[in-house]
Amino acid sequence: MILDHSERTFPPFSLTRLMRTCFGQGQGERLCILIDLPDPAQVKDFAFLQDDAFPIQKYGYEVFHQGFRDGALEDLNFTGGDFFAYRETGGSNLDMDDEIYDPEGNQLSLDKDIYPNYGIILTVSTFSATAPLTAKAKEFGFRGATLHGLNQIILSTGLAVDYDEVSDDTERLRLGLTKADYFEIDYGVEGQTYTLRIICNQQEAQKSHGLCPPGKPDVANLPAGEVYFVPEGAEGKFPFKYDDGTIGILNVSDGFIKEATFLRGDPAQVQAHNDKLRSDPMTGAIGELGIGTQVLPFSGRDIQDEKILGTIHVATGRSDHLGGHLTPDLFKEKANASHDDILYAPHKTPEFNVQEVRMVRGEETEAIIREYKPTPYMVGLIEGATSAV
């Protein structure tokens, strides 16, 4: 197995190959592309294409909408290829407004005009829509994919891979990590070690592997490639980097972040976080532990970087799209009902070192990551070995 992405080569991106691998050959299903915009009416006459502020949405138009118009629809036996815009939610996995617009300037309804009438829905957006679309897929029966944060690195690497292979590798790792009692993560920060324990209680591990075959309503998150758990509890402390670079230590008990402690930077950031935790405690719920499974270059976008072997992410907030019980109605404010991944990776959190991640399962304790690199145990799982190499 090639563990250094610089030694790996990727085939040219192919929309047809990606769609056929992820969704299978079409059976005449109607397909559409959604993008998000601050003002969704800007989709009229594709006016947003003239604004440099929307590079992600332009990929939605150029790669997907135009790609389907150039013959991919017929090759795949899908129909439609229609294009719509909804209002930017302003946060990760927040519910979407029902109002949507088409390029003719018509205002439509997601619930009435889109979800019941399309079998495949692709969303290329600034903010992740995986959680709300997964809920709608279960309700209306469509399949889809979310591709938030798309950029050229992702297009030429994370979306160019063979997702049958990704699925196989991810399944091997899933089997090697499933039914864990708990995971412990040691973080090194400014000479101190902080440990977070994620309690799984022998639950079956789940996977994001990119395949969304016919017959089961579902939404894939692309690029894919992770094993994940919906925690049943969490205890300990872990570091957090705010958007402005401020560093805090998050104190966790009973599965919730109870308080943030200021370490360095702007104390007002930590104070604002604590105010939010007090006013809406569900914002501190630990909703996911994710473990990357792919060998890819860092893209600068979490959607790909959290899928890289050697990285981990801990998420706060809603978990209903992952099979958890944390639903938007439990939050005091709609704007707080997000699912926010906290990614730990060398390029994003150089202030921290993930010294070790350990899995505890019965009498077995296995280190699975050390200093952002997979351990021999993890490499052995992917290579199909029966024991650590």
SS (H, E, C) the chain: CCCCHHHCCCCCCCHHHHHHHHHCCCCCCEEEEEEEECCHHHHHHHHHHHCCCCHHHHHHHHHHHHHHHHHHHHHHCCEEEEEEEEECCCCCCCCCCCEEECCCCCEEEHHHHHCCCCCEEEEECCCCCHHHHHHHHHHHCCEEEECCCCCHHHHHHHCCCCHHHHHHHHHHHHHHHCCCCEEEEEEEECCEEEEEEEECCCCCCEEECCCCCCCCCEEEECCCCEEEECCCEEEEEEEEECCCCCEEEEEEECCEEEEEEEEECCHHHHHHHHHHHHHCHHHHEEEEEEEECECCCCCCCHHHHCCECCCEEEEEECCHHHCCCCCHHHCCCHHHCCEEEEEECCCCCCCCEEEEEEEEECCEEEEEEECCEECHHHHHHHCCCCCCC
Please state, as a whole number, how many other Cβ atoms lie within 10 Å of the Cβ of residue 95: 18
- Regarding whether 144 and 201 lie in a shared domain, the answer is no
Task: Give the Cα separation of 137 and 24 in Å (integer).
Answer: 17
Task: Give the Cα separation of 100 and 149 in Å (integer).
Answer: 20
Q: In this structure, is residue 244 part of a structural domain?
A: yes
pLDDT at site 386: 38
- Regarding whether 116 and 236 lie in a shared domain, the answer is no
Q: In this structure, is residue 157 part of a structural domain?
A: no
Tokens in use for 27? 């059976």
Task: Give the Cα separation of 260 and 80 in Å (integer).
Answer: 49
pLDDT at site 5: 76
Domain count, the chain: 2
- Regarding whether 177 and 325 lie in a shared domain, the answer is yes
- Regarding whether 129 and 200 lie in a shared domain, the answer is no
- Regarding whether 331 and 193 lie in a shared domain, the answer is yes
Q: In this structure, is residue 158 part of a structural domain?
A: no
The pTM (predicted TM-score) of the whole model is 0.94
- Regarding whether 168 and 79 lie in a shared domain, the answer is no
- Regarding whether 179 and 54 lie in a shared domain, the answer is no
Q: In this structure, is residue 387 part of a structural domain?
A: no
- Regarding whether 348 and 260 lie in a shared domain, the answer is yes
- Give the domain range for residue 297: 163-382
Give exposure, 39-75, as e/b (b: 16+ Cβ within 10 Å).
ebebbeeeebeeeeebebbbbbbebbbebbeeebbee
pLDDT at site 388: 35
Q: In this structure, is residue 183 part of a structural domain?
A: yes
Domain's final residue, options 120, 150, 180: 150
- Regarding whether 199 and 291 lie in a shared domain, the answer is yes
Domain's final residue, options 99, 123, 150: 150
- Full pLDDT tens readout for the chain, 389 residues: 677 777 889 999 999 999 999 999 999 999 999 999 999 999 999 999 999 999 999 999 999 999 999 989 999 999 999 999 999 999 999 999 999 999 999 999 999 999 999 999 999 999 999 999 999 999 999 999 999 999 999 999 999 999 999 999 999 999 999 999 999 999 999 999 999 999 999 999 999 999 999 999 999 999 999 999 999 999 999 999 999 999 999 999 999 999 999 999 999 999 999 999 999 999 999 999 999 999 999 999 999 999 999 999 999 999 999 999 999 999 999 999 999 999 999 999 999 999 999 999 999 999 999 999 999 999 999 987 433 33
- Regarding whether 84 and 201 lie in a shared domain, the answer is no
Residue 98's CATH number: 3.40.50
pLDDT at site 1: 64
